[in-house]
Structure formats: C-alpha cells, structure tokens
Chains A and B, each alone.
Chain A
Amino acid sequence: MLGMLWRLLSRRIERTQGSAQAETGSVEGRISSRLPVNRERIKAAFGNSADLVFRDLQTGAQGKISALVVHIDGLVDKRQVAEAVIEQITDMGLKWDSPRQAYADLKARLLSASGVEEVDSLDKFITHVAGGHSGVLIDGIGKGLVCDTRGWEQRGIDEPTTEATVRGSKEGFVETLRTNTSLLRRRIMGSQLRIEEMRIGRITKTRVAIAYIAGVANHETVQEVRNRLRRIDADAIHESGNIEEYIEDAPFSPFPTILRTERPDKVTGALLEGRIAILTDGTPFVLIVPATFTMFLTSTEDYYERYFIGSVLRLLRVAAFFISLTLPSLYVAVTTFHQEMLPTPLVLSIAAQREGIPFPAVVEALLMEFVFETLREAGVRLPRVVGQAVSIIGALVIGDAAIRAGLASPAMVMVVAFTGIASFATPVFSLAIGVRLLRFLMTVLAGVLGLFGIVAGMFALLIHLTCLRSFGVPFLEPLAPIVFSDLKDALLRAPWWALRTRPQFTGKKAPTRQAPGLRPRPPSAEEKEVHHLVGKEGGK
C-alpha cells in the first residue's frame, strides 16, 4: 500500500520536474593552451568563489614563461603548496627555455608532492582542485598538472561514540575517507583488500569507496554494489544514510537491511565474512552489505569476550529486543483483556494502582510512551549539561508527578521505563528506532484486540521479515531459511576455534577460514616427545 502511495507521489514530482534540472557545474572541453582562457574558464566554473586562489608566476630563463597555480584555500596544506609547488616552479625555473621543457621537467622531477597527475580535461582539473589538489597550468601547454597537496582540518581518531565497548579497539572512523581506508588497511595487511573509489553526487561529488576482500567476497555481489551505487544520480550525498536509502532492498520496511557502523574492527570482521563495506567521505558511518537480522543484535565485543559470555549477552539482547517490541502491548493486553492470566495478588495490585486513573490502559501506555520518546529525543539533541537537567525533569517531574497526579500508574511507568532501557540494549540504533515505531503499533493492536492483536501483529512482522532480502541474502538467515552451519554465530557464538566456516551466503567462495582442530588441548604423546628432543638439542 505504501508502494502505491509512493508511486502516486513520484508521478506528481516527475511532472513538475522539467524545470528543476539544475546547473550541474560541469565544464566541457579540454584544457586550452592559452593560459588566460583557462583562467577565465576556471573562474567561471567556480563562479568567482572567494576561497579560490590563483597564483600567477613568471618563470623561465628569461622570465617569459607564465605559470598559474590554482588551489582552494582551506583545503590545501599551505606549506606544502609553497615548498612543493611554488618554490619548485620559481627556483628551478631559471634554466627553462620553453614552456614544453618546463612542463616536462615539472611533471617528471620537480614537483615534489607525493601525487602528481597529468590531466587534459578541464572538468577533471577543476574536480581535483575542488578536492584539495593544487593545479598547475603553464601558458602554451594544453595540459595541466594536479599535485596532491591536500591538508585540511580534520577530527582526530576518537573512540566511537555510538558503539563504545569495554574490550576491543577504541578507534572509530572519522569524517575523512582516506583516514578511514587507512584504518582498514592497518587491520588487513594482506594485499587482498581491495578499495575502489568513485564519486557520487552531481554537485557534492562525494568520494565513496567500496572495500572488499578479493577471493572472499562474491563477484556478483560486488558488481551489484557497484551497479547500485552508479545508479545514484542525485545532486548530493551528505551522509552514508543517503546512500543507504538509494541502494537498500526494502525502502518501505521499518527494518534496516544495511548495517552501519563506525567501528573499523566491525567492518574488517564483516569483510572477512565476504561482505562489502561502503565508505563515504564526510561521515564516520560505514555501510556493510549484505546485512542479516542477527548482525543487528551483535556487538563486536561478543567476539572479544569469551564465547559463553558473548553468547549469554547475545541472548540477553534478543530478549531485550522482544521486550522493547512487545512489553507495553503485553501489559495493555493482559490488564484489559486477560486478567485471568495474572496471579491473583498481582492482578489486585495492578488494579489498585489503576484505581482512579482516568484513561484506559492503552491511552495511558501511548501517553507515557510518547512522553518517554520526547524525553529521549530532547536528551539526545541538547548539550550535555542541559541534557542532564532534562533527564532529571523527566525522571522526577514527569515520572513521579504523573503518578501523584493520578495520570499514570506506577506499574505503567515501570513498564515504559524498562521498555526504554531494553530498546537501548539493541546495539544498532537504526534497528532500535524501527522497533520503537512498531511498538506503538503493537500497543494499539493490543488495546483493540488484546493478545490476539499482538499475535496477529507478530505474525505480520514475521512474514515481512522472512520476505526481506539484503543484496541477495535472506534477512533472517540463518534462522529462516535455516542454515545449520551458520547457527554457530547467530543467536549464540561458538568459540573461535569452532567458527571454521564463513557464512554460507556471503563466504562460499572461500568456505573455511582456519585450519581444523585448533581447539586447545594438552599435547599428545608424540608432540611431547618432539618437544622433549627439541628442548635437549636447544640445551646443548
């Protein structure tokens, strides 16, 4: 039904879109051999932007060679521009006789920046300049050089704020794509790590990288990711969330089918399972595809703590997931439809608490949920200092006062509070948010139809979940379809030495990831013998 509405809406938009074809800012043609022409065209392309810097130089033996250095202020490391580019041109230029010689010399030897590239299309030249390179043009040459002098203010590598763990790496991704790829490279030293880059966004030209491990990831899936990314023909990519919405399999589902993380170790773990990471410049959030439901209930810590602790924590999270989805609705259903299901003292206690409350339990539940969600939202947005004040107001004023004022019962406050806490136990925020929305729906269902409504709602959800796919992988894999070999790392985590095979759907190209029999054990008799001999020889 949503789809139907969407189609209607989009038809409207298409009709009115003709005029919305914005100036894309792309400049046609090659670099001219006449410097002033190039200069004007570049200036025009940037619309005389204030941060565009032109440096005109006269060099050559007779001072006859005109050169132009173009860069954008704030994106380049100024010292590097001075030392590696301008000084080179002026100091060494004294022996140049012709522009051709100057150009060849500069290209081959002189420009001491680490990356120098020759471009002949003006568009490419401008794109590089916009990306923080310094462009060098010489009068009389129809080509340009771009030097990598990028250097801008960036945030240092910090602990990931949304996915902090007790044990494990404290590094999180930052906003700079290159730093992020380096974080991956540092963790995967093998040359199999592939990083492909492209630019998306007609105006933003955002750099987007695909990372995968050659020989592990499926070619088809990698190709599918490339295709879906290339399909995006939009003005802007502001954050990986935009990409997520352009390429996800189920755009109308409350469940995310793409996992996002700001932890490099989570990404490397996923890469080694044959998954593919999409890194976006300008955001620390990296997308992982294909994603399955159980990945959303997994924390990297599960793999670092000993396996049974990891398993128990996972089960706890699964329980918290169901609680955050159904607890208020169960409470409403049981107290308004199925009073026979509670033990007598409890039912009397709840009845005593509800004495004099003016709203039906459903309304009470929705009201308190609403209050809680508002508080949470306010707490997230506010500065930390004010945030504390808000939480105090929330806990004391709203919670306690609502009870005293007879607007809500203590049991309901308790249910809502616990549900809120349970929803924070879901490690991935995007899933927790979806569940939050569904919780309201379930509460309404429970208020209308009781347990029957909850069961109906859960069935609908289950059917929906089993229908979801993420880049060709069933979303509920390995639970539905059941894949026995993958159950070792789904709701429970088997010990590392038992995690021999990669997930069936993503890792079948290289099925095993370790040698068999790695389980620690006392040495056998022969091994003891060998050690004994070695020890003796060593002693001699």
Chain B
Amino acid sequence: MLGKRALRAAALLLIAAIVATAAGCWNRREIETVGFILAAGVDEAREEGKIQLTVLIAKPFAIGGGMETHGSAEERPFWVVSSTGYTVFEAVQNLFSQSPRRPFWAHCRFIVIGEAFARKGIRDVLDWFDRDGEFRRRVWIVAAKGAKASDLLQTEFELERMPPEGAMRLLQAARTELSTVGEDMLNDFLQKLEGEGIDPIATRAEIIPRPQEFDIRGELKREKIGGSLRLTGAAVFRNDRLVGWLNKPETRGFNWITGRVRSGIIVIEKPGEEGKFIGLEILRAKGSFKPEVEDSKVTVTVKVEAEANVGDVQGFIDLLRSPELWASMERRMATVIANEVLAAVAKAQELGSDIFGFGAELNRRDPKKWADQFRDRWDEEFRDIDVQVEVKARLRRSGLVIRSTRIRK
C-alpha cells in the first residue's frame, strides 16, 4: 500500500508534469513560421472608405547567409502584399488569408503613407500602430511624395537586397551626414499631434525611376529595378493632415532651428571671385529659439551657432596671407544658414503649420498668456510671426592644406 506521503509526492510530480507540458505555448511561435514585416504602407483602397495596407515581408530563405541556401541572387528576398479593410486592424487580419506565415510587427521600421491618403489625415491609421503590443514606437513615419505607399514599398536598391535595410541606412546617413531629412518617429509624431502649438513632420520620400539601359558588368542580374527610393526632405503636417513639403535646404533650415543639425555641407561663393565656390563641412551646430511677446505681437529669435571646416575650394586661396578672407567666409556661411532658416519659416508660415513648436515654447514660457491670447487663434497668429535670426558661424580648420595648389605658367 502506498502511504499518504507517496500519494502526495505522486500528485506533486503529476502536477509538475502537467504544468510543464500543458502550460505554455502561449505566444509561442517557431521563428521560421513567422512573417517578419519590415515596412508597412497605408493608402486609400479602391473601394470607397476602405484602407489599403501594404506590407513588405522578409523571405528569410531567399536571403542567402553564409551557407548555401535555397534562394538565389535573382530571387527577391522580400514579398510585398496588400490587403484592405475598413480599419487598419481589419486589413491586418485580412493578411492572414494571404500570408502563410503569421505577420509579426516588432521588426517593422517604417510606416509609409501615400500622399493622397496623408492629405486626408492619418490619425485613425496611427491608432492601431500605437495600440498594438507588437509594434514599436521607434518607427519612422515616411510620406511618399507624389506616389502611393504601395509603389514606394516596391522600390529596390542596387546595393542592398532588403529595401527597408537600405532605407534605414539612407535615413541614418541623411540624418548624420546631411541633416536634410525630417526625422519624426511614431512617438514624436504622436506627441506632437497631442501637443499644443506644434505640428508634426515626417520623412519625405520620392521614387526615382532607374535608368533602364544600364549596362555595367557586375550589376545584379535581377530582372529590373523599377525605381529606387530617395529621401528628399520633410513632409509638413497640420494636425494629422499632410499640407505640404519642405525641400532639402528648407529641411535643414528646420533642423537648424530645432537644433538637429549634426553635419552637412554649406556651399558659399568664394569671396572676391565670381563663379567659384567653397564647400564648408559642418562640424558642430547648436540651434535654439526664443519667442517673445510685445504688444501681443510675437517675435521669435532663432539663434544658431555653427562650426565648420573648409572642405574644398575652387580657385586659389592662401589663408595665411589673407586673414580677412577667413572672416568673409564666415560671414557668407552665416548668411547661408540664415537664408535656410528663413526659407523654412516662410514655407511653414505659408502652409500654416507650426512645425517648429514656436507656440509650444510660448506656452511653456508663459502658459497664462498663451491660454488667454494665443491658443485659439494660433493658426492665424503663426503666419504673422516675425522671425529674427542670429547666426554665429565659425570656421575652424582648413584640412591638410593652408594654401591651394598654385598653377604657375
């Protein structure tokens, strides 16, 4: 006869076994059964009132890592597929009927919005991306200028097999090397949507057609690369509606004001010599602005401090012999920066969208005055703001040479 103790021990063992085998598998999915979505796009569907969701799903077996795989170089390592629904979530669920692998969102890097759709407002679309647990808030919002998101997702790069990877690299380079791209992620976007006196921006992307007759040996043997993606500035939103675009210099103007310029090239005309240019490489930059109210008229003072190196020079230059040239170059650099800032402001005022957050800053500095005087009529007020620009431009070094090569005859 088994004793009470033995029964108890047996029961414990049984419970342990049941717990171990039956408990889990909640949320469990083998990695090869998951469809990793790397980018998603939203457009209007053909049917009235529906949303078209386009996703780019990775095909891991076509990537071809270190070992022999089933894929070949010609095979696209991704699959672009669309589905529709009245809400994003419905469209996502409808994907299940097309994708044998369960869509998985945590690796999604981009939400692309087609221009036509974006002009009608995107808040209702962003809700699902915000609400769903798999999604990350560090997703870039990209607006496709003059294109549908589904088209943008079908572009490819010559040097990168996985387009979202390529786009990530482009974006990183554009942020850190050029500073000519709007860089709001989902998190910033949503915060700015909610904030007072500030409007969101998004990354502006365009499709550039590839030259078809391109016959250089060593080119990828894939059939055709229809188009490629290029990042060309920022998309301006008023609340959640797309209202216009900033081109690259304007975008850098925006980045000067908000202090996001990291590097980039400033081209100035060479002092004293028409038609020759000097390229300056931005080393460090600081930007800030300060709104002030005088007699209920708002003035914003933008302060930019920038340091640069001389990157390249056309024509002859001897910096030791002509110190006044140095000062003159700094002045021209300051002018370029000021122009970019003013261009950005002018465009924003024209579009009626306070992307810089002048209003928000005003609110922060003087909430009472903001509430009393400006909150309700900020849209009109913003268009009349007077913006002063103060630029401190410094040139630091001139590369490995002080004096250019002189051609003696």
Residues of A within 8 A of B (CB): 1, 4-5, 7-8, 335-337, 339-340, 344-345, 347-357, 360-361, 403, 410, 444-445, 448-450, 453
Contacts and interface: CB of A to CB of B under 8 A. Distances in A.
A252 to B, nearest CB: 13
Contacts of B134: 340
Given A352-B63, A448-B25, A344 B20 contact: no
Given A335-B31, A339-B31, A351-B34, 19 more contacts: A8-B6, A339-B104, A340-B107, A340-B136, A344-B36, A344-B38, A344-B109, A347-B31, A348-B162, A349-B60, A349-B63, A351-B31, A352-B69, A353-B67, A354-B30, A448-B21, A448-B25, A449-B23, A449-B24
A355 B61 contact: yes
A336 B5 contact: no
Contacts of A348: 36, 58, 60, 63, 162
B5 A8 contact: yes
12 contacts: A4-B6, A5-B9, A8-B5, A336-B28, A337-B29, A344-B36, A344-B109, A348-B162, A355-B70, A356-B70, A445-B20, A448-B23
A347 B24 contact: no
Contact of A347 (B12, B67, B107, B109): B107
A357 B70 CA distance: 13
B28 A337 contact: yes
Interface string B11-46: 011000000110111011111101010100000000
Nearest to B21: A448
B31 A1 contact: no
B36 A1 contact: no
The 5 A-B pairs of least Cβ separation, nearest first, read A340-B106, A352-B60, A351-B60, A448-B24, A354-B32
B3 interface: yes
* Chain A, interface SS category: helix
A404 B28 CA distance: 27
Contact of B34 (A339, A349, A403): A339
Contacts of A339: 29, 31, 34, 36, 104, 106-107
B32 A355 contact: yes
Given A4-B5, A344-B36, A349-B65, A337 B27 contact: yes
Contacts, number: 97
A336 B9 contact: no
B8 interface: yes
Contact of B31 (A4, A350, A448, A450): A350
Interface in B52-79: 58, 60-61, 63-67, 69-70
A4 B38 CA distance: 54
Contacts of A344: 36, 38, 107, 109, 165
A405 B107 CA distance: 30
Given A8-B5, A8-B6, A448-B20, A1 B12 contact: yes
A377 to B, nearest CB: 26
Nearest to A357: B32
Interface string B95-113: 0000000001011010000
A308 B218 CA distance: 52
A351 B30 CA distance: 9
B392 to A, nearest CB: 40
A410 B67 contact: yes
A336 B29 contact: yes
A337 B136 CA distance: 17
Contacts of A1: 9, 12-13
Contacts of B30: 335-336, 354, 360-361
Interface string B132-165: 0010100000000000000000000000001001
A191 B148 CA distance: 92
Interface in B359-387: none
B106 A450 contact: no
Contacts of B31: 335-336, 339, 347, 350-351, 354, 361
A403 B68 CA distance: 11
A445 B104 CA distance: 24
A314 to B, nearest CB: 34
A465 to B, nearest CB: 21
Contacts of B5: 4, 7-8
B196 to A, nearest CB: 34
Interface in B268-325: none
Contacts of B20: 444-445, 448
Contacts of A337: 27-29
Given A337-B28, A340-B134, A347-B31, A352 B13 contact: no
B291 to A, nearest CB: 41
Contacts of B162: 348
A355 B60 contact: yes
B27 to A, nearest CB: 6
A8 B9 contact: yes
